Amino acid sequence: MEHYKLYINGEFKNSSSNSIFESLDPSTEKPWATIAEAKNEDVNYAVESAYSAFYGEWSRTLPSQRGDFLRAIGDQIKQNSEFLGKIETVDTGKIFKETKFQANYIAEYYYYYAGLADKVEGSTLPIDKSDIQVFTTREPIGVIAAIIPWNSQQFLTAVKLAPALAMGNTVIIKASEIAPTPLLELAKLIDKVGLPKGVINIITGFADECGKVLTSHPKVNRIAFTGGTNTARNIVKNSAENLSQVTLELGGKSPVAIFNDAKIDNALNGVTASIFGASGQSCIAGSRLYIQEKIYDEFLEKIS
């Protein structure tokens, strides 16, 4: 089986405890890869590496240089989009047509923020005192923890990682333990672009010894999370002591409203496609139905 290591401080390493877990191929329900399991010590090492990089070499990197790094990451993703798509399909069961397409256009996020990196502006504000000047300037936050769910990993990483790097932050990405290999493959591509050590760290592990340690760490300045509401509640609790900034993009399904004048067969086809398209791995899957009373019984009969 394939074996995947953690990516911390510019190096691929096994867990400090040598703990591993298996990732299952959903098409066979059999293990296809082993994964290094991050524990307390590994998480601390990742945060300290990101912290040192933020106050070290990365803080001296010019905005245009950050843009160059982002552009290089985009190039790597575009050149390897088919491979990244295949890995995501194997680990999550999402259809290859979609994973390959997503991996290809995700490169555009990195290109966009590459162009934005040297265009961050402040403003000067008028004030009614002649001897005072008031202006705003934008500064990086610091160490960012980006927690990614098991579906659409490349996309949900790009929307967190690209703007964070463009602004000059450092990042620890926690991949879902359910299907972590797409992001651990991404680590191999990121390693090729020559970023200073510790700027990007990619780990995975379980709640108490990985997620909790990361979200309660005093040197994590912001947490960007996509996932379910139960986990979000724990993240808010964990971050409260340190007053870390928290962004939560929580789980939910888009509703489908079917009105009395709808054509039942068309509506049923649309509902079925929205729920089961992409193997059900879509946050706009439309699994909540609101059906007007006059056609309710007829619709249920069609389903049955």
Residues with a catalytic annotation lie at 249, 283
Q: Contact 110/158 with Cβ under 8 angstroms? A: yes
Q: What is the DSSP string of 160-195?
A: HHHHHHHHT-EEEEEE-SSS-HHHHHHHHHHGGGTP
Q: Contact 23/33 with Cβ under 8 angstroms? A: yes
Which token pair is 80? 């390897």
CA atoms of 227 and 242, how far apart (whole Å): 22
Question: How many C-beta atoms lie closer than 10 Å to residue 301's C-beta?
Answer: 9
Angle between helices 264-276 and 293-303 (to 10 degrees): 60
